[in-house]
Every structure is written in C-alpha cells, then in structure tokens.
Amino acid sequence: MTNLSDFRIQVPDAELADLHARLAAARWPDQIPGTGPERGVPLDHLRGLAERWAALDWRAAEARLNEFPQVTAVVDGQTIHAFHVRSPEPDALPLLLTHGWPSSPVEFLDLAGPLTDPRAHGGDPADAFHLVIPSLPGFGFSTPVAGPGWDLGRSARAFAELMARLGYDRYGAHGGDMGAGLSGLVAMLDAGHVAGVHVASDVQGAIGMSDGYVPVDTSRLTEAQRERYDAVRARLAEARGYLAIQSTRPQTLGYALTDSPVGQLAWIAEKFEAWTDQQGLRPGAAFDVDVLLTIVSLYWFTRSGSSAAHAIYENSHPLPGTASACDTGDDESAWDAAPSVPTGWAVFGGLDDVVPALFNADGAIAHWSQFAEGGHFPALECPDLLAADLRTFFRDLR
C-alpha cells in the first residue's frame, strides 16, 4: 500500500484578500540616513518588492505550479508534500531533489523539463530523470509539523520511505544548503537503493560549512588561501544573526513571520539577494524576482515561516534519546564519514582553490566541478549548468 494522495495547490480567495490588505496597511520603519544594506534590506528596496508582490498574479503562479503533478504522503506521522514529475523515457533514473532554507521545491521547477525530457530540449534521452522534489518537514505544504524531532536525519529517513512508496528501488539524490546534508544522509541511510549523491554549494556556503559543521584540515591551506578563507569567515560572522535566532528562539521569531507579510518578505529576500551571484547587478537581478515572490507566497499562505525556523532549531537541538541529524546509526557521524555511494560536488560562484583545498585535497571526490557563475541557488541562477553537471555525474551510474 503506497498511502499516496494526489495534491493541488488551492489558496482560498480569503487568504489572497488578507495578504493584499496586510500589504496595503503595512507599517514601515524609518531608515537612518546614510545607512544601507549592511544593516539589512534597505527601506526603498523592500517597498518596491512589496509593491511587486501586491501586483503578483497569484492565480497564474498557482496554475503554473499545478502544471507539475504533486503528491502527499504521511510518513512517520508527518505529512510530506512533493512534486513528482515523471519522464516520458521508460528507463529514466529517479532523482530526489532537496531544497534548503529559505527556499522551496519551486527552486527546481525550471529544471523539470530539461531533466525529465532531454529529447525535447536537444539532449540525449538516455540522460532522463524522474523527479521527486519534496518540501522539507515544516516547509510549504509539508505542514503542520506533527511534533518535535524533525531534524535532517529523520527527514532523510522519511524521504527514503517516500521514494520506496513511489515505487523507486534505485535512485539518485541531489541537494544544496540543508538539502546537501539531507542528500548525504539519504545516501548513508539508504545506501542499498541510492545510485549516487550530488551536492551543490557556492564558495561562501562551502567555507561556511567548514566553520563547525564539516571537519576540515586548514593546515593544508597556503598563506594566501588562509587569508581568503579568514576573510570569508569574517563576512559570514557579520551575517549569521538569522541563524542564531532560528537555532535558539524560533517560536519568538515565528509570530512576526506569521503576522507580517512584509516581515516574511524581508527575512527571505535578504538572503536570496545576499547569497546569489550578483556580479555587480542591481539586487535581485541574478534570479527571477517573481519566482522569489512565489516562494515567499508559499511561506506566507502555509504559515511555514515559523515552522521552517523550527527546522533549523531541530538540527541544533536533537531530542534526548534520538538520533541527531548527523547520526548514521553507528559510531561515525554523517559529516565525518564519506557516503558509501559515488559522490559528486558542484561549487558555483567562483573558481577559488580554497574550497577544493579544504574538501577535496586528496581527490577523494571523483566528480568535482567548479563554475565561475551562479551562487547559493544554482537551479534558479544557472539551471543549464546544474542540469549538465547532474547529467554528467549520473551518466555512468544508471
């Protein structure tokens, strides 16, 4: 018994009316003269985003999302929502795509056509994938959260179960941000069914992972590399307020995110704009702003800004007597041990040699790619590059 239900997004008219009323009645703070984005999203910029959000045709955005088949399943007592896009190619490899914070499955939808139907996009049909793109527990329609303890380890087990219920005995996994960690955990917890795991990061995000999340040997860095490494870490330290709050007091933050659409917009837009490859462009030019607003809308309509913040808390505070997000069930953690399946890593937004020196100095990661373009959200910023790298990595693992 698969225990799967078809799903369509249907936001009530009353929710749309409420959003528009709240945006129209927003109370705006002053901005101290002479200050800018170093203190947060500038006032004029956020006003412009809010005006564009108020003008967004949600019904058109909703219809576009509903063009992609969706399912829900209750796994371990938790509702899990996923886009499930099958390829017309019968021998396609199933591929689990997992987002991070503050994103959603919408991040990957521009990849759906090229990955599921390469024949129609000038590619080789032998490279086709069936796509499963879930919402992490506490995000989007994988809400409400049934109880505490939904860290990445528990989510990985749930996603492996979802793949089994969908009838996929062998599949690949890919993710970025939290989705990278979850993909690695899936590869360990369900190694007998996982063909390979592919993760993506930007340069800044990779260096951030080395600062207390993934053990690295910084003694391998040259003096010049160490200077660049320390410079990135210093910038990250200035921008980690969001992480400190969400990993310690998510409930307090949740009231503002749930009650104020402008607050929710600012909380997400700041990170999208800071973490993408701006290349000297105006804020937001690295991605489609209406896609960002669609993602923010999903957080707003599902009231998942708060529960998404709790998801970060869970990974910092595993429940007593339960496996942590990084526990593989033996004496090693997921971050200390390499997955037992083939692994690929794509780094976007720079060709700096600091990242491979930290994570792949011995060449243990056989598929290592670096791209000058892109940033933290490559599926939105440079989908063609990411799609090509996924095809290349999985080509010999089918």
Residue 316 has pLDDT above 70, yes or no: yes
**pLDDT single digits (tens) 149-178:** 999 999 999 999 999 999 999 999 999 999
In this prediction, residues 202-210 reach a mean pLDDT of 90
- The single residue listed with the structure tokens 């796994």 is 75
Per-residue confidence at 339, pLDDT binned at 50, 70, 90? low
Contact predicate 160/190, CB 8 Å: yes
Q: How many residues are listed for the chain in this entry? A: 398
- Long-range (24+ apart) CB contacts under 8 A made by 327-336 are 327/153, 328/185, 328/188, 328/189, 329/189, 334/153, 334/181, 334/184, 334/185, 334/188, 335/181, 335/213, 335/214, 335/215, 336/215
Contact predicate 264/296, CB 8 Å: yes
What pLDDT does 284 receive? 66
Residue 335 has pLDDT above 60, yes or no: no
pTM exceeds 0.85, yes or no: yes
Closest CA to 101 of 330, 332, 257, 218: 257
**pLDDT single digits (tens) 182-195:** 999 999 999 999 99
DSSP 217-285: -GGGS-HHHHHHHHHHHHHHHHT-HHHHHHTT-HHHHHHHHHH-HHHHHHHHHHHHHHHS--TTPPTTT
- Residue 363, sorted as left (phi over 0), alpha (psi -120 to 50) or beta, turns out to be left
**pLDDT single digits (tens) 121-155:** 999 999 999 999 999 999 999 999 999 999 999 99
What pLDDT does 356 receive? 95
Alpha-carbon distance values, 128 to 70, 87, 192, 326, 333 (Å): 19, 7, 22, 31, 33
Phi, psi of 205 (to 5 degrees): -65, -40
Of 98-102, 235-239, 310-314, 339-343, least confident by mean pLDDT is 339-343
What pLDDT does 323 receive? 46
**pLDDT single digits (tens) 38-58:** 999 999 999 999 999 999 999
**pLDDT single digits (tens) 3-30:** 999 999 999 999 999 999 999 999 999 9
Closest CA to 94 of 41, 38, 165, 9: 165
Q: Which amino acid is at 288?
A: D
